[in-house]
Structure 1
Amino acid sequence: MSNLVLNHHPKQSKAIDLSAKARFEDLNLASITNLAQHCDERLLPILANAYDVSIDGLSQKEARALLSKALMLKRHAGTTYAIKESLKAVFDTALVEEWFNYDGKPYHFKVKVTSSHKPFDENTFKQLEKLIYEYKNVRSVLESIELKVQSNCNKYNASANFTIENISVLPLRVRQRQAKLSSFNAIAVFISEKNIQSGVVL
């Protein structure tokens, strides 16, 4: 590292120059980059400040994705495209429906977000709102945010309920017996005798 302090500069400047020289000579300059996807994690807040992008509450992966689009988002700020791209940094399935797509009021729009791996909570909802209001134009009105959670679970739960009823057959017990016997016998005897003699019936 060359000496940037001239002879007529004060001694304090020379001391700072020597200190900086000692620190920067062993520094790997190849690791310093402003590419959000490859820079050191400690540089993310500095890049966010430089690009005027808020990454509060975002994971490292989400922050890198948003910062890598920062210049493009600033160029297209106020458009539906900018809203979609900013939301996709956090939710890759985010959709923006404009009023003429669903017969809504003029200049209104809806945002639909589907997730199968990221839970929805109050912080997530605030992040969505923050991104939408940062990149939408002043005229457009956010009508609603629809959240949908999908489950990719391949497990099935089943339950069965068995009911058993025991029936015991006991021997027949006659507790009370009443019998009425009535009979009527009739005997009739009819006797007829016929004697046939010489064709005369007696």
Structure 2
Amino acid sequence: MMADISKVALLDLVPVSIRGDPQVQAAAAALDQELKAVTAAIPSTLLISRIDELPESVLDLLAWQFHVDFYEPASLDLAKKRVLVKQSIAWHRRKGTPSVVEEMVQAILDNAIVEEWPEYGGDPYYFRVVKIGGELVDTEAYVLLKKAIDTVKNTRSWLEGISLLRQIDSRIYFGVLQSTHTKVDIFPSAFRMPDISSSLYCGGLIHVHKSEVIPCQTGQAVS
């Protein structure tokens, strides 16, 4: 059965023939504390496999050792530092490819898509980084982002622009009002004229006369 090295005492490793000697016991006890301190420090020698556990001061040293060109100790939080150091070796092997630019931008902010000039009708040898997500940050972060892109992009390629994508969650409320009413028109009482009947009489007159001329002896005519 294997023993936990952190719990093993030096005296347990001493041969039985001398284990009972007081001087041997005193020497083993004196060395135990030093040996336990060395044992406790063993995990510190494991760097790559323990990046997610290393303190920030060690990460800064590893960034220098691994040549993380776009590493800015004062501008990045601890989680982003871990990602950059962890991916540094792999990114150095693939420098100059769009995928590295995407992964690096995602490490600093969130999400990113690299579009080469034929994809959006740009000028030859240009590219742009679009749909960058994450929280809104200050201008220094975008200066760092531009510097980071320049360190991993293809030398003949030129960054044309950076486009951000921000999604705002909100609620839209709709209100509906239904109104029902009845219209009643009240008019004054209608006044009706009484029925009136009458007779109509019509009269006519015809005057007919005849004129005759009778001669007189005096030579005058009498009518």
- Shorter-chain TM range is 0.5 to 0.7
Q: In percent, how many aligned pairs have the same letter?
A: 28
Displacement of 1:77 after TM fit?
0.9
Structure 2 gap ranges (5+): 1-33, 176-200, 202-223
Residue 34 of structure 1 corresponds to 47
Question: Hey, what's the Cα distance between the residues in 1 that align with 2:132 and 2:123?
Answer: 24
The residue type equivalent to 1:55 in the other structure is Y
TM-score (norm 1): 0.60
How far apart are residue 63 of structure 1 and its match? 1.0
Equivalent positions of 1:81-120 (< 5 A) are 81-115=99-133, 117-120=134-137
1:104 deviates by 1.0
- Counterparts of 1:83 and 1:99, CA distance in 2: 15
Q: Alpha-carbon deviation of 1:91?
A: 2.8
User: Deviation string for 1:130-154 (max 9, x for gaps)?
Assistant: 1100101221010001112112x3x
Name the aligned partner's letter for residue 134 of structure 1: T
**Corresponding position of 1:70:** 88
The superposition leaves residues 110-130 of structure 1 with CA deviations (integer Å, 9 ceiling, x where unpaired) of: 101332x41132022112101
* CA distance in 1 between partners of 2:140 and 2:36 (Å): 41
CA distance in 2, matches of 1:61, 1:34: 16
Task: Kindly indicate whether residue 66 of structure 2 is the aligned counterpart of residue 51 of structure 1.
Answer: yes
Structure 1 segments unaligned to the other structure (5+ residues): 1-20, 161-189, 191-202
1:123 to 2:136 alignment: no
Q: Aligned-pair distance for 1:99? A: 0.6
CA distance in 1, matches of 2:117, 2:60: 36
* Preserved contact between residue 33 and residue 39 of structure 1 (Cα < 8 Å): no
Deviation at residue 95 of structure 1 after TM alignment: 0.8
* Residues 98 and 108 in structure 1, CA contact (< 8 A), matched pair in contact too: yes
For normalisation by structure 2, the TM-score amounts to: 0.55
**Distance change in 2, residues 1:66/1:30 (3 Å):** same
CA distance in 2, matches of 1:37, 1:67: 10
Displacement of 1:102 in angstroms is: 0.9
**1:25, distance to aligned residue in structure 2 (A):** 3.1
Relative to structure 1, the CA distance from residue 23 to residue 138 in structure 2 (aligned partners, 3 Å threshold; closer, same or farther) is farther
CA RMSD of aligned residues (A): 3.9
Residue 47 of structure 2: SS of its match in structure 1?
coil
Which residue of structure 2 lines up, in the alignment, with residue 182 of structure 1?
none
Deviation for aligned residue 1:42: 2.3
Q: Deviations over 1:1-47 (max 9, x none)?
A: xxxxxxxxxxxxxxxxxxxx799636432144322223233211011
Conserved 8 A contact 1:77-1:136: yes
Cα deviations across residues 156-177 of structure 1 (Å, max 9, x unaligned)? 376x9xxxxxxxxxxxxxxxxx
Secondary structure of residue in 2 paired with 1:71: helix
Aligned length: 159
